[in-house]
Chain A
Amino acid sequence: MSRFADVDRLGISGKVLAAAVDEGRAALVAYLPLGYPSVDDSVAAFRALTDGVGADVVEIGVPYSDPVLDGEVIQHATTKALRRGVRVRDAFLAAEAVASGGRTPVVMTYWNLVEQYGADRFARDLAAAGGAGVVTPDLTPDQADEWIAASDAHGLDRIFLVAPSSSEERLAMTMRACRGWVYATSVMGVTGTRTQTSDAAPVIVDRARRADPSLPVGVGLGVSNADQAAEVAAYADAVIVGSALLKCLASDGADMPGDLDRLRGLVDKLAEGVRRGRG
Chain B
Amino acid sequence: MTQLPDSMGRFGDFGGKFVPEALQAALSELAEEFTKAASDPTFAHELHRLQRDYSGRPTPITVAENFSKQCGNATIYLKREDLNHTGAHKINNVLGQALLTKRMGKTRVIAETGAGQHGVATATAAALLGLECRVYMGEVDTQRQALNVARMQLLGAEVIAVAAGSRTLKDAMNEAMREWVSTVETTHYLIGTVGGPHPFPWLVRELQRVISTEARAQMIADHGGLPDHVAACVGGGSNAIGMFADFIDDPSVALHGFEAAGEGIDTTRHAATITAGRPGVLHGARTYVLQDEDGQTIDSHSISAGLDYPGVGPEHAWLASSGRATYEPVTDAEAMTAFRALTRTEGIIPAIESAHAVAGAQRLGLRLAQEQPDLRPKILVCLSGRGDKDVGTAFEWFKMSGRPDAVVGGTE
B170 to chain A, nearest CB (A): 6
A40 to chain B, nearest CB (A): 19
Q: Is the CB of B21 within 8 A of A160?
A: yes
The answer, yes or no, to whether A87 is at the interface (CB within 8 Å) is yes
Task: List, in ascending order, chain A residues with CB within 8 A of B181's CB.
Answer: 68-69, 188-190
- Bound CA span A113–B177, Å: 19
The answer, yes or no, to whether B8 is at the interface (CB within 8 Å) is yes
Q: Is the CB of A166 within 8 A of B25?
A: yes
The answer, yes or no, to whether A185 is at the interface (CB within 8 Å) is yes
- Bound CA span A87–B284, Å: 22
Task: List, in ascending order, chain B residues with CB within 8 A of A88's CB.
Answer: 294-295
Smallest Cβ-Cβ distance to B298: which chain A residue? A65
The answer, yes or no, to whether B276 is at the interface (CB within 8 Å) is no
| Residue total for A at the interface (Cβ-Cβ under 8 A) | 41
The answer, yes or no, to whether B291 is at the interface (CB within 8 Å) is yes
- Bound CA span A236–B336, Å: 60
- Bound CA span A115–B165, Å: 22
B382 to chain A, nearest CB (A): 29
Q: Is the CB of A75 within 8 A of B164?
A: yes
- Bound CA span A39–B16, Å: 33
The answer, yes or no, to whether B86 is at the interface (CB within 8 Å) is no
- Bound CA span A140–B25, Å: 12
Contact indicator per residue, chain B 286-319, by CB within 8 Å of chain A (1) or not (0): 0001010111110000000000000000000000
- Bound CA span A255–B310, Å: 37
Smallest Cβ-Cβ distance to A141: which chain B residue? B21
The answer, yes or no, to whether B100 is at the interface (CB within 8 Å) is no
Task: List, in ascending order, chain B residues with CB within 8 A of A72's CB.
Answer: 164
The answer, yes or no, to whether B251 is at the interface (CB within 8 Å) is no
Q: Is the CB of B294 within 8 A of A113?
A: yes
- Bound CA span A114–B137, Å: 29
Among A64, A87, A165, A185, chain B packs the most CB atoms within 10 A around the CB of A165
The answer, yes or no, to whether B19 is at the interface (CB within 8 Å) is yes
Q: Is the CB of B291 within 8 A of A116?
A: yes
Smallest Cβ-Cβ distance to A183: which chain B residue? B21
Q: Is the CB of B18 within 8 A of A162?
A: no
Smallest Cβ-Cβ distance to A170: which chain B residue? B24
Contact indicator per residue, chain B 160-176, by CB within 8 Å of chain A (1) or not (0): 00001110001100100
- Bound CA span A139–B16, Å: 10
The answer, yes or no, to whether A251 is at the interface (CB within 8 Å) is no
Q: Choose one: A112, A140, A165, A187; the contact of B295 (CB below 8 Å).
A: A112
Q: Is the CB of B297 within 8 A of A138?
A: no
A28 to chain B, nearest CB (A): 23
Q: Is the CB of A115 within 8 A of B281?
A: yes
Q: Is the CB of B24 within 8 A of A138?
A: no
Beyond A188-B182, A189-B181, whether A161 also contacts B20 by CB under 8 A is yes
- Bound CA span A161–B22, Å: 8
The answer, yes or no, to whether B31 is at the interface (CB within 8 Å) is no
Among A140, A164, A187, chain B packs the most CB atoms within 10 A around the CB of A140
The answer, yes or no, to whether B367 is at the interface (CB within 8 Å) is no
The answer, yes or no, to whether A142 is at the interface (CB within 8 Å) is yes
Q: List 27 A-B contacts (CB under 8 A).
A: A64-B295, A65-B166, A65-B296, A66-B165, A66-B174, A66-B282, A68-B19, A69-B20, A79-B165, A112-B280, A112-B291, A116-B280, A116-B294, A138-B18, A138-B19, A140-B17, A140-B19, A140-B21, A161-B20, A162-B21, A163-B20, A165-B25, A165-B184, A185-B21, A188-B184, A190-B178, A190-B182
Q: A68-B284, A72-B164, A143-B17 are in contact. List 4 more A-B contacts (CB 8 A).
A: A116-B295, A138-B19, A143-B8, A163-B22
